[in-house]
Amino acid sequence: MSSIAIPHAGDHGHDAHEHHHETFLTKYIFSQDHKMIAKQFLITGIIMAFFAMFLSILFRIQLAWPEKDFPILEVFLGKWAEGGRIRPDFFLSLVTIHGTIMVFFVLTAGLSGTFSNLLIPLQLGARDMASPFMNMLSYWLFFSACVVMISSFFVESGPASAGWTIYPPLSALPQAIPGSGTGMTLWLASMVLFIASQVMGGINYISTVLNMRTKGMSLWRMPLTIWAVFLTAIVGLLSFPVLVSAVVLLIFDRSMGTSFYLSDIIIGGQILPNEGGSPILFQHLFWFLGHPEVYIVLMPALGLTSEVIATNSRKPIFGYHAMVYSLIGITVLSFIVWGHHMFVTGMNPFLGGVFMITTLIIAVPSAVKTFNYLATLWRGNIKFTPAMLFAIGLVSFFISGGLTGIFLGNSALDINLHDTYFVVAHFHLVMGSASICGMLCGVYHWYPKMFGRMMNDKLGYLHFWMTFIGAYLVFFPMHFMGIDGVPRRYYSFTNFPFMQEWLTVNVFVTWAAIIAGLGQVAFLFNFFYSIWFGKKATQNPWKSNTLEWTTPVEHLHGNWPGEIPTVYRWPYDYSKPGHEDDFIPQTVPFSETMSSNLPHDFEGDAVAEQIQREWDKEHGVERELHH
Amino acid sequence: MRYRKYINFRTIFSLVIATMLLLHGSAFAQAGDSTATENDTTVSSSELQAEAESAGTTAADTTGNAVAAATPEGTSATSNAVQAAQEEEKSIDPQVYKNFFYYVLLFFLVCIIVGIVGKIIQVYELTREMQGRAKRVNWNKFHGTLFLISLFVGLYGAYWSYAHHGSLAWHESASEHGERIDSMFITTTVITTIVFVLTHILLFGFSFVYKSTGKRKAYFYPHNNLIEKIWTIVPAIVLTVLVLFGFFTWRSITNVPDDVAKDALQVEITGEQFAWTVRYGGKDNKIGKRSIKLTTPLNGLGIDYNDKSAWDDIMGSDIVLPVGKPVRFTINSKDILHSFYMPDFRVQMNAVPGMATHFQMTPRYTTAEMREKLNNPEFDYVMLCAKICGQGHYNMQKTVRIVSEAEYKEWLATQSYFFSDDVKKEFKASQSANKGEQEEDNKQLALNY
């Protein structure tokens, strides 16, 4: 569309000149360059991911060996693990903060933030985001949100501990659990900062996609990654503000004596004056974001893998239009399914029935996506780069986790499965493992674009297999615990005879988690080592079609040294018959690929068809131009 | 480039040697230490060792303890005294650090092994290349094969888990509506398992079959509208069937007609941190009204005794129910959200402060029958809390007993009334007070406690 994106688009020839007045502060800290901001999001996301993973290992240790002391824990955690045993309220804090960080900071900001920022301008042919300054603000708000969240570990009463869903009244009453004191205040403050960051980011992504595509880049020529992050941004922009309202009302209830969520409560022998509020109201507000949030987490991952699977199968993604329509379907439907989190919370049962219907409908576009992935692999020429391995991993997790969603989306079955380990297994597979696989797939694939160097393949292989097998070993058995009726967020299983049967399984799961967790060190090392010592990347290491691989390896402000390239075709012309290479970049016009053009390429352009017909006659090629 | 590789080699080897030396050193130390204890029988060192051994309560194995314990002792004999002093000072046994350090070291060693293997592969590839032999390691073939293996191993694993964990997890429902849930659960499991197996065969199968060989081009196949329509419509139909099935089951469970609900045995369950109170409707099978404002230490539920139907309400020590008779639970909470969950009966409903929720069910088997069925004489039905509610969340339970009608009546007769003599006195006092003064007093009374 337009290439007059940013003011200094004109002086692209003088990059050296521009770099002169870039200080360390403006280049690495308060950078307004989308590529640097992407890296900032990614590295912050990775650090938060490791932090949250560490928390999960801590509570897994408690679950596996509830009767054992681990004095080393006291060394690090002090009063939270007196005598080497994690305290029940701190256990709940660990669960809460693990969930919050993973869902919001890693899989929302770390995933969307990184790849929207990196790929939207690069794959659409823009010099930067629509509002680079706002983009920078978005990162720094996210960063402060992270700092505030982690700081809650350093307050006297401990971090928030009402679960990542922070249902009031538990989260509203410090008398109910210590974590609902200062820790909860910090949680809420962090979340407000985070949402502000998301909204700023979202506005930026949407306006960039709509306004700043290069010449020839029509919506239907956008790579699926862009479709995914674009729709994700729309979902986020519409749903996150609702969470703000939920959070603000909760802040009022906590500190200003209002009764939005509170009614008829006696705690610690005291009758609270609050009257007329409803905890269910909070759940409605929370899940109005909370459910779309699941797709905010998942859709970018699906977008990234679509691109990676097509590139590494050396095949066009099967059913490009169906892929886009199913993303749009998921986007729309994701707003009307939130009630399935509330089947047994006291919501009117009739509503439960309605939400069950909408919920199961959303499985249809998801199924279409899966089948399209499989069809893309069919008769491909699959190259197993680490990115491709993770992409296949995503498909597997997406299937396994998605199928258990059919149980939970069914309100009748949900009666017995609600708030059990079945739920834990379900969402850890479908949105945890699948999304993290998508994110890692993206990191391995676009690493050369981000850092100009390659990551080590073999460590990547090791990392994949450890993660893939580990995640299944951890989460598969949990389904059965849930079927048996073991509720989630239980500090120990020792008080119920029927749960004691699962103690050995718990030990197994914890060992699997520890080993898979250590496997991530392979990634951490690989990531940071390769930034400085990796093999130098070539311009287009994966032989990919999309625009970002036409930029020089060395980053420069404005992305392309010369004019922004024009786009002539869709991004998936891989292994086109009649062409000697197995890929044709989007920047190659049809006039240069006369031997491989297909009827639908011309989109009904009569002149182009005429030219092609003449060329065919000249070269003795038989071709049907009309379908 | 070559120089850099050389450097890497050297750093890795020097790291290996350093670690070996480190371990070697500790081995020496161990030997030295043991000879020291043999020759010199001072009380302090043997005492320390004994202490160290007995304190090894963490997951470390004995060799780990030995190696870790030996390191500092071997370094200097004089440090023993210092250590002992430190030990007195701190409550944390230094052994803790040693064990931890041992595991860190172990992990470090694994990392080094991984590094060495990586280097070996690299060397292998380079030599192959130098000899001009075909190609490097064929990683595509390697991963394709691994995917095939993981298909078989994974499917077997899933089967094993279904068989083994499934039999642990799956018990027949003990309630009537649970039967319907169970049959739907089985149907859904069968359908999803078929899809799970088929899609994984395709996913991993394709990964194996269509791995790149370098000789072939992929098949350009961008779309096929017919196939796409089929795999949109087929899942849609299957899901529609499941939805309808689920919808009617759900309605039949939750949408109980008023008269049926009235005839059922009325039981009220009230959750609070971290206990449940069970209230039976008594002779009139009617649960008396409550008001939070009436709560006193004696009248924990805030029962309003102006409502005469509350006078015969009975406090249940457990949940005891007659078999085969519909029971309607009214679920309440005094403080925060809880969840009334009885997995054996497929019953779950949240307890919400300020809003009563309901669940109606009919138990099918008595506890004794279920014990026989499960071949487990210890078995008891349980009711537990499934919604996060604080420190005691993991142990907020009540035993549920299903008995015959006669046994139930017998048990109920042994339970006490809520409207006990003390409560009666309090009620009378408050009534007379009410006449003279404002209702405020009630609240004041409660606040005082």
Which is more confidently placed, A600 or B154?
B154
The pLDDT score that the predictor gives to residue A28 is 81
Residues near B424 by beta carbon (within 8 Å), at least 6 away in sequence: none
- Nearest 5°: CA angle at B160, between B156 and B161? 115
Contact A418, A345 (CB under 8 A): no
Mutate to test the interface with B, among A406, A466, A542 (most CBs of B within 10 A): A406
Asked whether the predicted pLDDT for residue A109 surpasses 70, the reply is yes
Residue spans of beta strands (DSSP E) within A169-253: none
Residue A19 has pLDDT above 80, yes or no: no
Residue type, A110: G
Interface test with B, best of A266, A421, A490, A596 (most B CBs within 10 A): A266
Q: Taking CA atoms, what residue in A is nearest to B378?
A: A497
Pairing of strands B275-280, B416-417: unpaired
**Chain A interface, best mutation among B217, B238, B273, B289, by max A CB count within 10 A:** B217
Classified by CATH at the fold level, domain B260-419 comes out as Immunoglobulin-like (2.60.40)
| A521 inside 8 A of chain B by CB | yes
Q: What's the pLDDT tens digit per position in A176-205?
A: 999 999 999 999 999 999 999 999 999 999
Rounded to 5°, angle at Cα B321 from B320 and B324: 160
Contact B335 A456 (CB under 8 A): no
**Element holding B427 (H helix, E strand):** helix B421-436
Q: Which of A12-21, A42-51, A207-216, A462-471 has the lowest mean pLDDT?
A: A12-21
pLDDT of residue B61: 41
- Read off φ and ψ for residue B260, nearest 5 degrees: -65, -40
Phi, psi of A503 (to 5 degrees): -60, -40
Q: Do A71 and B220 touch (CB under 8 A)?
A: no
Residue B432: the pLDDT is 82
Across chain A, mean pLDDT equals 90
Give the residue among B55, B295, B139, B170 at the shortest CA–CA distance from A417: B170
* Pick from A585, A589, A584, A627: nearest CA to A611: A589
A172: phi then psi, degrees, rounded to nearest 5: -95, -20
What domains does chain A contain, in order, with CATH numbers?
Answer: 23-261+277-536 (1.20.210.10)
* Residues A415, B339: C-beta atoms closer than 8 Å: no
Q: What is the dihedral of CA B19, B25, B29, B35, to 10 degrees?
A: 130
Provide the pairing of β-strand B327-333 with B265-272: parallel
> pLDDT band at A60, cuts 50/70/90?
very high
What totals of helices (H) and strands (E) does chain B contain, helices first?
13, 11
Which residues from chain A sit within 8 angstroms of residue B389, using beta carbons? 170, 176
A54-73 mean pLDDT: 90
The answer to which of A480-494, A586-600, B336-350, B390-404 has the lowest mean pLDDT is: A586-600
Residues on chain A touching B114 (C-beta within 8 angstroms)? 459, 462, 522
* Token pair recorded at residue B140: 């595509």
Please tell me the predicted confidence (pLDDT) of residue A73. Answer: 87
Mutate to test the interface with A, among B251, B348, B379, B398 (most CBs of A within 10 A): B348
The per-residue pLDDT for A391 is 96
Residue type, B93: D
Residue A364 with chain B: CB contacts under 8 Å: 232, 235-236, 239
In chain A, which among 244-283 make CB contacts under 8 A with chain B? 262-267, 269-271, 275-280
A465 → chain B, closest CA residue: B146
Contact A72 B347 (CB under 8 A): no
Write the ipTM: 0.91
Give me the mean pLDDT over the A362-371 stretch.
Answer: 93
Of B272, B295, B389, the CB nearest to A170: B389
Give the pLDDT of residue A434.
95
Output the tens digit of pLDDT for each of chain B's 449 residues: 444 444 555 565 566 566 555 554 444 344 334 433 344 433 344 444 444 444 444 434 444 444 444 444 444 444 454 455 454 445 666 676 677 888 889 999 999 999 999 999 888 888 888 887 666 678 889 999 999 999 999 999 999 999 999 998 998 999 999 999 999 999 999 999 999 999 999 999 999 999 988 788 889 988 889 999 999 999 999 999 999 999 999 999 998 998 889 999 999 999 998 899 999 998 888 898 988 888 888 888 888 888 888 888 999 999 999 999 999 999 999 999 999 999 999 999 999 998 999 999 999 999 999 999 999 998 999 999 999 999 999 999 999 999 999 999 999 999 999 888 888 888 888 888 776 655 555 555 555 44
Tell me whether B289 touches chain A (CB under 8 Å): no
Closest CB to B243: pick one of A280, A356, A521.
A356
Structural Rg of chain B based on CA atoms: 35
Q: What are phi and psi of B38, to 5 degrees?
A: -70, -50
The rounded distance, in Å, linking the Cα atoms of B196 and A96 is 31
pLDDT digits (tens, 9 = 90+) for A412-437: 999 999 999 999 999 999 999 999 99
* Contact status of B187 with chain A (Cβ, < 8 Å): no
Look at residue B9 in the predicted model and tell me its pLDDT: 54
Q: Is B229 exposed, middle or buried (0-12, 13-18, 19+ CB in 10 A)?
A: exposed
Mean pLDDT of A468-486: 95
Q: What is the pLDDT of residues A258-297, one digit of tens each?
A: 999 999 999 988 899 998 899 999 999 999 989 999 999 9
- From A472, which residue of chain B is nearest by alpha-carbon distance? B154
Residue B395 forms contact with A (CB below 8 Å): yes
Question: Please, is B407 exposed, middle or buried when counting C-beta atoms within 10 Å of its C-beta (0-12, 13-18, 19+)?
Answer: middle
> For chain B, what are the domain ranges?
2-113, 139-220, 260-419
> Do B144 and A382 count as a contact with CB atoms less than 8 A apart?
yes
List the single residue in A318, A370, A459 with the smallest CB-CB distance to B223. Answer: A318
Higher pLDDT, B444 or A140: A140
Hey, are the CB atoms on A384 and B139 less than 8 Å from each other?
yes
Taking only residues 3 to 62 of chain A, the set having a beta carbon closer than 8 angstroms to any beta carbon of chain B reads: none
Task: Confirm or reject contact between A78 and chain B (CB < 8 A).
Answer: no
Tell me the two tokens of residue B363. 């138990």
Tokens of B213: 């060989």
- Long-range contacts, A77-82 (Cβ 8 Å, 24+): A80/A158
* In A453-576, beta strands by DSSP E: 453-454, 535-536
In chain B, positions 239-268, which contact chain A (CB-CB < 8 Å)?
239, 242-243, 246-247, 249-251, 253-255
Q: Please count the other Cβ atoms lying within 10 Å of the Cβ belonging to residue B233.
A: 11
A169, A271, A352 ranked by CB distance to B443: nearest: A271
> Which residues of chain A neighbour B242 with C-beta distances below 8 Å?
360, 406, 410
* Residue B92 to residues A85, B228, B240, Cα–Cα distance (Å): 13, 65, 61
Provide the percentage of residues in chain A whose pLDDT is more than 70: 96
Task: Spell out the alpha helix ranges (H) of B55-175.
Answer: 62-75, 79-89, 95-130, 139-169
